[in-house]
Amino acid sequence: MTERDWQTEEFERHRPHLRAVAYRMLGSLSDAEDVVQETWLRLSRSDANSVENMRAWLTTIVARLALDELRARQARPEDRPSLPEPIFTVDGEQHGPEREALVADSVGLALLVVLDTLTPPERLAFVLHDLFALPFEEIAPIVGRTPVATRQLASRARRRIQGTPPEPEADPAEQRVVVDAFLTAAREGDFDALLEVLDPEVVFRIDRGAHPAAEREPAVVRGAEQAAGYVLTRGRRFARYCRPATVNGSPGLVVMPADRVVGVIGFTVANGRVLELDLVADPKKVHAPGTTRPGTRNAA
């Protein structure tokens, strides 16, 4: 086996882990793929024979690149709130094992929304320690802090995240019952039935990207009556095109007129009601399962 073959084999073995780290850091599968691609390029140009722990080395590169991207985003803030890029599969359709594994290993949209409120160093410390169990001694050099200061970053992030979003129902089947009830009420135009399935303090976030309608519509709708009213006035005509899906590991919906995905809806369900709704209708973020954003390259 040549050194190039060995590098490729090692990289492919760790690719799912690297992509998971990058996605949790960036909330975008497209950007995560770009970071993973750059990590491969750096590996291919390095003296890999001197690397004792390849997984740790690759994770460090991915984390540093993701941190750079998060800092760059701060320099170009968006005019309207932006939701993470969802990872989804349509129920009943066949998808490759790589896609199925990606959905199963993803984290909820609601948690990614909260992670977006953290500073880049806080997010990195929390993601690497709390989600991937890396010791603070390994994380500290990436953020340029001492291990004690890095621990404080993660602790501060944890306090901001605690209780938001609420813990969803553990049983996916129970979540699906609630999502199905929501869809039935939306299709039938039943305002009272929607109120029954929505938590009184429900938060409904909408991301249409650069669509002209985005400037005329709210980015966030709060409260059951307001959310139910929005669904029936703005969304009922799309309800008939909704199909059950798994969205970031939880039951959700996709909007598919003419078999083309135009929207993805993530749900946070607890105590038999919808606590949070996330509608992603930005064409740059909703792709047919198994595809990536134009311009995204394969790593190796």
Those residues with Cβ within 8 angstroms of residue 94's Cβ, 6 or more apart along the chain or in another chain: none
- Whether 83 and 112 map to the same domain: the answer is yes
**Of 28, 19, 126, which is closest to residue 84 (Cα–Cα)?**
28
Q: How confident is the model over 224-262, as pLDDT tens digits?
A: 999 999 999 988 889 999 999 999 989 999 999 988 899
Report yes or no on 103 lying in a domain: yes
Assess if residue 202 is contained within a domain: yes
CATH number at residue 42: 1.20.140
Residue 149 sits in the same domain as residue 179:
no
At 157-197, the pLDDT tens digits run 999 888 666 667 678 899 999 999 999 999 999 999 999 99
* Residues 149 and 196 placed together within one structural domain of the fold: no
Q: Which two tokens stand for residue 198?
A: 């929505």
**CATH code, domain carrying 180:** 3.10.450.50
Q: Please report the pLDDT score of residue 45 as a whole number.
A: 86
Residues 180 and 82 in one domain: no
Q: Is the dihedral of CA 105, 165, 116, 78 positive or negative?
A: positive
CA distances from 36 to 39, 61, 67, 163, 205 (A): 5, 9, 13, 31, 29
- Quote the CA–CA distance of 87 and 276 in Å, as a whole number: 17
The mean pLDDT of 89-108, rounded to a whole number, is: 76
Total domain count for the chain? Answer: 2
Same domain, 191 and 229: yes
| Domain carrying residue 238 | 172-280
Evaluate if residue 137 carries a pLDDT over 60.
Answer: yes
Whether 291 is covered by a domain: the verdict is: no
Does the pLDDT of residue 291 top 60, yes or no?
A: no
Q: Are residues 232 and 107 in the same domain?
A: no
Spatial contact of 269 and 275, defined as CB atoms under 8 Å apart: yes
Q: Are 70 and 123 in contact (CB under 8 A)?
A: yes
52 three-class SS: coil
What are the angstrom distances between the C-alpha of 254 and each of 2, 73, 90, 105? Answer: 45, 28, 7, 19
Confidence of residue 212 (pLDDT cuts 50, 70, 90): low
The pTM of this model reads: 0.85
Predicted pLDDT of residue 297: 39
Answer yes or no: do 8 and 130 share one domain: yes
Residue 299 is assigned to a structural domain of this protein? no
Is 200 part of any domain?
yes
What share of the chain has pLDDT > 90, as a percent?
A: 63
Looking at the structure, tell me whether residues 155 and 236 fall in a common domain: no
- Look at residue 296 and tell me whether its pLDDT is greater than 50: no
- The alpha carbons of the chain give a radius of gyration, in whole angstroms, of 20
